[in-house]
Amino acid sequence: MPENENTLASQVFDQLRQAMASDAAAFTELYRDYLADAWRLLGMLREAVQQQQLEELRAKAHHLKGSSMVLGARAVAQCATSLEEMGRQADVQGAVAMLERTHQALQHVQSELADRLGAGVVPADKSAA
């Protein structure tokens, strides 16, 4: 599988774009909302790990996993799956490294989306990132 395919699955992206062909702005907005939500969740996951709030870690990681799966952000979904399991197993060893991997994966998704949809897909508070 090509690296960028793991970043953002073309089949998911293309079929969604086709399904929303009548409203291109809404399609961009859907991914912009995803990115904004994912960055927000990542911040909450960091906080949960720092505070050892395991249920919060599990729940927020579950949200990030779900939205990333539905929208084709596979690498982010994989990281979120690992974080969710850490929360469930009450074992946060390696969580800091996994948060860093999640950050990088999300950054790649954002770059990929910006290439495909233009800079308008990047949430306002992340446009300088």
Pick between residue 19 and residue 128 the one whose CB is nearest to another protein. 19
- Tracing tokens 């990088």 back to the chain, one arrives at 104
Cβ neighbour number for residue 24 with a 10 Å cutoff: 11
Pick between residue 116 and residue 128 the one whose CB is nearest to another protein. 116
Q: How near is the Cβ of 60 to another protein at its closest, in Å?
A: 10
In terms of DSSP H, where are the helices of the chain? 3-7, 10-19, 24-50, 54-71, 74-89, 95-117
Q: How near is the Cβ of 122 to another protein at its closest, in Å?
A: 16
Q: Which among 126, 102, 122, 110 has a CA at the least distance from the CA of 8?
A: 110
Q: How near is the Cβ of 32 to another protein at its closest, in Å?
A: 11
Positions touching another protein (CB under 8 A) are 9, 11-12, 15-16, 18-21, 26-27, 30, 33-34, 37, 62-63, 65-67, 69-72, 74, 77, 81
Pick between residue 101 and residue 128 the one whose CB is nearest to another protein. 101
> Left (φ > 0), alpha (ψ -120 to 50) or beta: where does 10 sit?
alpha
